[in-house]
Amino acid sequence: MQLSYCTNVHPAEDLDGVIRQLREYAGPIRRRAGLDVLGVGLWLPAGLASRLAGSAADVTLLREVLSEQGLQIHTLNAFPYGGFHNEVVKRDVYQPTWAQRERLQYTLECANVLAALLPEGMPGSISTLPLAWRDPWTGDDNESATTAFVELSEGLRTLKERTGKTVRIAVEPEPGCVLDTVSDVTAWLAAGIPRGIDSDYIGLCIDTCHLAVSFADPVAAVRGVGAAGLRVVKVQASAALHVAAPSEEAARSALVAFAEPRYLHQVRELGRDGNVLMADDLPQALAELPGRGPWRVHFHMPLHVVPMLPLETTAKVLETTVDEVSSLPYGQQVHLDIETYTWSVLPGKQVDLVEGIAGEIAWAENHLLAPAPS
């Protein structure tokens, strides 16, 4: 698998900012990790994607900086449209939706930029949001989104004909969205294939934090994608926060520190009857969920960090998912992108970002990419 880390952890809304993050963070991370080449999963805000799509000179400059720093691009994150480090993000991250033309235009511009940056012979991937937050979402919205994905398929085929580069879009389910789970995305895309959604170019991004929060079986989820004739295009390597006994005082005290105001931290509780209870954010969960079963919290935890009990992470779900994806016939072509964007809002003392991300890369190489012992 091609390993990278996602640059949406760094605030940058223009070309100068992206170049600065590559020189101040990505390059030093590569050197700290001891790698000759490091993959970066680039996040391009909409304004910058539009600029790059229309400027060969700017793309050349970006390519030169990547080469200078020993960096390689094979995947983009086109989920956040912009403002991902605003003081409050929350549900703004789901705008514009796939029912709005701006989302299609942004994604196609990202695809054109990625095609220009890809190493020769390497396919590219772009992760995108699961249509929208679940409410409001109408039948008309769903029809507009289906039409947009048909147009997207056509655009990606045209891009391949023009450039020789294959770029695939990876729809990323997230708790609380229209497409909440892997099975939701699988069913929606499968239903769209007869309408013209091209499964050669449109597949899934499995974010393993989101997968864990849903309490889904990772093996069954991955196998269900294949059974529907679809493809896992990308895995976002991420771990959720897990609390076995959330009603206990020590657990609740520890969780309060994670209820920060920037990002949405959806919570799911696994009931004793197997049903999953939901809250749209951690403060709501602390106020409303009974806490009789374990909680999983949508808070991307550093992969290599083992928190003190009663807090745990779902790193094992990540390992199981990657094992299953690796066993697919095309498994080694799936992009593996470390996406811990929450370093700036983690409770406690802030760590050195170069050191922290290099630690995640080392963990991923040892736990996700190393051959299993015989």
Q: In this predicted model, what pLDDT tens digit does every residue of 27-68 receive, in sequence order?
A: 999 999 999 999 999 999 999 999 999 999 999 999 999 999
Q: What are phi and psi of 171, to 5 degrees?
A: -80, 125
In sequence order, what are the residues at sequence separation of 6 or more whose Cβ sits closer than 8 angstroms to the Cβ of residue 213? Answer: 175, 240, 266, 267, 268, 296, 297, 298
> For residue 6, what are its two tokens?
């996602």
- Tell me, what's the pLDDT at 359? 97
pLDDT in tens, 292-311: 999 999 999 999 999 999 99
Q: What are phi and psi of 310, to 5 degrees?
A: -85, 10
Among 119, 317, 351, 118, CA closest to 222: 317
pLDDT in tens, 336-369: 999 999 999 999 878 899 999 999 999 999 999 9
pTM to 2 decimal places: 0.96
- Say which DSSP state 90 is in: G
What stretch of H or E contains 233? Answer: strand 232-237
Between the alpha carbon of residue 58 and those of residues 28, 51, 61, 63, 124, the distances in Å are 23, 8, 5, 9, 20
Percent of the chain predicted with pLDDT > 90: 97
CB 241 within 8 Å of CB 301: yes
> For residue 194, what are its two tokens?
């007869």
Q: 2-241+298-369 belongs to which CATH class?
A: alpha beta
CB 78 within 8 Å of CB 339: no
Among 73, 68, 127, 137, CA closest to 99: 137
